[in-house]
Amino acid sequence: MADLLQKLTLEEKIRLLSAENIWETLAIERVGIPSLKVTDGPNGARGGSFFDGTTAACFPACVSLAATFNRSLSYQVGKAIGEEAITKGAYLLLGPTVCCHRSPLGGRNFEAFSEDPYLSGALASEYVKGLQRENRVAAAVKHFLANEQDTRRFSVNEKISDRALREIYLKPFEIVAKEADPWSFMSSYPKINGKHVDAQSKFLIDILRNEWNYEGLVMSDWGATSCAESVRYGLDWEMPGPPRQRTLENVQTALKAGEIKESDIDTRVLATLNLLKKVGKFDDRRVTPEEKAIDRLDHRSLIRKAGSEGLVLLKNEGSILPIDTKKTKKIALLGPLAKYAAAHGGGSASLNCHYKVTPYDAVAERLGNDVEITHSKGAHIFRVYPDVEAGCSNSRGNPGFLAEYFMDLEPSTSPFRSEEFPRGSFTTLMNTHVTGCKTVRFSTIYRPPVSGNHYISFSGLGPSKLFINDTLVAEQREPIKDAMGFFLGVQDEVRIQYDFDSSKEYSIVAETHPSPYSNAELYLMENQCSIHLGLIEQAEMEQDVLSEAVDLAGKADIAIVFVGNTTQWETEGQDLSSMTLPADGSQDKLVASVVAANPNTIVVNTTGVPVELPWLESVPALIQAWYAGQETGNAILDVLLGEVCPSGKLPISWPKKYEHTGCYGNFGLDSFESRSVEYVEGVFVGYRWFDKMWGGEKEVRFPFGYGLSYTQFELSSAKLAGSISEDANAGVNVTLKLKNIGTVAGAETVQVYVEPPVVRGTDRPVKTLVGFAKVELQPGEEQEVDVEFKRDGAAFWDEKQSRWKISKGIHAVLVATSSDPKDVKARLEIAVEGDFLFSP
């Protein structure tokens, strides 16, 4: 690659410092340098369209994958998503996301693995290995670094101690960098201690490359390039293109001023060339193929298996689960998510699934011939009204809407481009065909399926008007307050009612202009056009669905209530405002009312975060379903029926209330008015915080690593060998015997924690996860289990020495099935004769 680098002119090298467009890097045909297409991940390969693109397989979200505690499964998912990426013509996947869950209100927590850096790093490493080694598709491990909150993520300054950075936030990236050799990293938006990641040498140069010996490429998050000087500080690509910071003029100015050297540019370009070679773009993959929708049976099976294995059984009083279908003749499927397939969260992780199986679909298909099934949604949880779709056809006679793009402020001339959309929303963001448009006309002919004074919602990114039969019925005079919120479907809207007659047709036209500035604090949102038009029929909105659900529950043998979040509530771009289920207490009221009517009530919660459970004591069974991918309905039913024995474990701590967490008052929307947030809890994140709260009011609801089964296990004969020493290759090996003493096949996850000695003047967590092993056993089967860890697991970061430190004294090695002290099955000890330090 060095020879190819020498053939490039300085101008060509500068052009290679940034992408050509939203998803593709620049090609230099003169010397045979091809373009590379990237695609969003990490729970699927979406392709080039943010909305309504080529269909793709949707895998479980990373938090769901983390709940499996299954390294092999994570590898298989990574491998399959690599195969998916190739069908979209992409050879770099933007994922996995390995930022730790700092708060239960993180809007994007579902997209990352866990609160624990070791679990995150271990599973992400397997994901990356599967993605890269089988398919030659590069991973872009993200977001490096400290992208734990979405509130003001483009401008927030995060104050984080070096110790917290090393022990919590850098650790999963370090594990992945050293164990999986990812071919690329993605940098993050926030400032850390006053400077963006790419505006200082500490992270991309000193730590990532010099300490960890990372040799791959680093790209920016979209719009997260600080300045031309980032070339010096280790950022290889500015994404997306065309460049905003790394223009030819800006880079040449930086060169003349001595802020960067041409050798810096050469280093950045060489990283690009090396990546292109690794993914095969110089040989058999020079041309980017057309996107294809390939629905593979093996991917379907894997998604279903991973989804069911990630489900966590949190309560099963009286062994109400699994459902005995021989005794059950009538089931009420209730709740707003019963007919909603919660395959994924909102934002970059969303995609156009090949298909989605709702819980209702799964139950009806498998049990419909033998069991009477009733249904009611029981609660309305609209954050925005759903896109109008039914009854719409555009002027070309096709279903949906027509968007016409004009270069003038008044749409009097012919549009320079027209595009069709299946429903009442569109955006120009990431649409390279309509750059520079001044007006968009978005229209349909609406034939109401039913008559009624229907509810309409309307909003635009910029100033917008809505006409029905040429009459202005709604107007938004100013740009939307939150541009990113609008883009992700969580915006404020103008709401009206309109009296429709099903025997008539109506011309609906929306006109919008670009927003001249970005209220998202992200330049990518500037001069973009978007419209959202939602509609709910009067009968649906005004129906007393709660009473209906309670009535059906009372007449059923079993009631199953499906509650949780949708992509409108849990999404990239906005953190959650509380731990309560949306909206306005309606779902909590539904559960409480249903269980009062039928004590045989099972609750299935679908969120990527823990939520308050005010009804928990009265409900006999609770399952946490996460976002389980396109097979979510089948995955849930597999566990409900006992076709899959639940084996998921919580990869997070589940607080009773947000106020009980260590970051309370110093996260996300708590600090919205400030552009600064302090990581006040330091290293005490998740179970490290709650370990200090046992026996008190703030004791955790469900501990990290917790999960029930339909069978029972016995752990015995635990012993250890080895040592914690200055020898980097030395390790501690924990062995034990695990036996399934129940009546059905199942799997147990053995967790190993290290409890350090108490040292005056050093405040350390009670214990730290250092290893785990998941074992599947038949009834009566016994197996020996080995778990190994090295000195890293027992170390803490000494800020005075800027090195890792092991303390003298007795280190307890805890063998457990969760982080709850009551679930410790064996306590072993190992002595360290003296303090010692070691370098990263």
pLDDT, tens digit, 9 for 90 and up, residues 332-359: 999 999 999 999 999 999 999 999 999 9
Residue 818 in this model has a pLDDT that exceeds 90:
yes
Give the CA radius of gyration of the chain: 27
**Which CATH architecture group holds 36-183+299-383+543-640?**
3-Layer(aba) Sandwich (3.40)
Across 150-194, the runs of DSSP E, i.e. the strands, are 157-159, 184-187, 191-192
Q: Which two tokens stand for residue 607?
A: 């969120």
Query: What mean pLDDT is predicted for residues 466-473?
Result: 98
**Does the structure show a pLDDT above 90 at 272?**
yes
Q: CA 625 to CA 607: how far, in whole Å?
A: 7
Question: How is residue 686 written in tokens?
Answer: 């998740």
At 17, the pLDDT band (50, 70, 90 cuts) reads very high
pLDDT of the residue at 410: 83
What average pLDDT does range 518-535 have in this prediction? 88
Question: 658: which 2 tokens?
Answer: 């947000």
Give yes or no for residue 130 having a pLDDT over 90.
yes
For residue 162, what pLDDT is reported?
98
In order of 303, 374, 785, the CA distances from 73 in angstroms are 10, 35, 18
Q: Return the SS3 of 233.
A: coil
Query: Catalytic residue at 221?
Result: yes
Mean pLDDT of 807-827: 98
Q: Which of 826, 257, 215, 189 has its CA nearest to residue 523? A: 189
Contact present, 636 and 311 (Cβ < 8 Å) = yes
pLDDT score for 390: 97
Q: How far apart are CA 783 and CA 762, in angstroms?
A: 39
Task: Over range 760-767, report the average pLDDT.
Answer: 94
Q: Is the CB of residue 234 less than 8 Å from the CB of residue 198?
A: yes
513-521 mean pLDDT: 81
Please state the rounded mean pLDDT for residues 521-547.
93
Q: Residue 668: phi, psi to the nearest 5?
A: 50, -125
| pLDDT of 672 above 80 | no
Instruction: Tell me the residue length of the chain.
Output: 840
Please check whether residue 569 is in contact with residue 489, taking contact to mean a CB–CB distance below 8 angstroms: no
The rounded distance, in Å, linking the Cα atoms of 168 and 687 is 12
Q: Give bridge partners of residue 790 from the DSSP assignment.
A: 731
- In terms of CATH, what superfamily is 713-838? Immunoglobulins (2.60.40.10)
The pLDDT assigned to 228 comes to: 87
Q: What is the DSSP string of 417-466?
A: EEEEESSSEEE-TT-TTSTT-SEEEEEEEE--SS-EEEEEEEEESSSEEE
Count of other CB atoms within 10 angstroms of residue 818: 19
User: 124: Cβ–Cβ under 8 A, 6 or more apart, which residues?
Assistant: 62, 74, 96, 98, 113, 141, 172, 175, 176, 180
Mean pLDDT of the residues in the chain: 96
| Active-site option among 40, 150, 198, 221 | 221
- Inter-CA distances, 658 with 151, 279, 285, 573, 618, Å: 17, 44, 49, 20, 22
User: Are the C-beta atoms of residues 704 and 818 closer than 8 Å to each other?
Assistant: yes
CA-to-CA dists, residue 382 to 39, 83, 259, 392, 422, angstroms:
30, 36, 51, 21, 20
Kindly list the domain boundaries of the chain, sorted by start residue.
36-183+299-383+543-640, 392-422+429-528, 713-838
Task: Indicate whether 285 pLDDT > 90.
Answer: no
What does the pLDDT look like over 709-719, one tens digit per residue? 999 999 999 99
Please write the tens of the pLDDT for every residue from 558-607.
999 999 999 999 999 999 999 999 999 999 999 999 999 999 999 999 99
Q: Which of 50, 602, 520, 572 is nearest to 321 (CA)?
A: 602
The proportion of the chain whose per-residue pLDDT surpasses 70, expressed as a percent, equals 100
**Residue closest to 753 by CA, chosen among 741, 764, 766, 742:** 766
Backbone angles phi, psi at 295, to 5 degrees: -95, 100
pLDDT band with cut points at 50, 70 and 90 for residue 621: very high
pLDDT at 296: 98
d(CA 542, CA 540): 6
Could you give phi then psi for residue 399, rounded to 5 degrees? Answer: -60, 145
Give φ, ψ of 411 to 5 degrees: -80, 60
Global pTM value: 0.97
Report pLDDT for 411: 80
Question: What backbone torsions phi and psi does residue 123 show, to the nearest 5 degrees?
Answer: -75, -35
Burial (0-12, 13-18, 19+ Cβ within 10 Å), 399: middle
Let me know if 423 is exposed, middle or buried by CB neighbors in 10 A (0-12, 13-18, 19+): buried
The average pLDDT across 189-213 equals: 98
Whether residue 525 is predicted with pLDDT greater than 90 in this model: the reply is no
The domain made up of 392-422+429-528 is a member of CATH 2.60.120.260 = yes
* 518 pLDDT above the threshold of 80: no
Token representation of residue 209: 């490359």
What is each CA distance from 202 to 197, 210, 251, 367, 702, in whole angstroms? 8, 10, 22, 58, 37
Residues 574 and 485 sit within 8 Å (Cβ to Cβ): yes
pLDDT of amino acid 769 = 98
pLDDT tens string 702-760: 999 999 999 999 999 999 999 999 999 999 999 999 999 999 999 999 999 999 999 99
pLDDT in tens, 353-405: 999 999 999 999 999 999 999 999 999 999 999 999 999 999 999 999 999 99
Q: What CA–CA distance (Å, rounded) separates 88 from 624?
A: 32
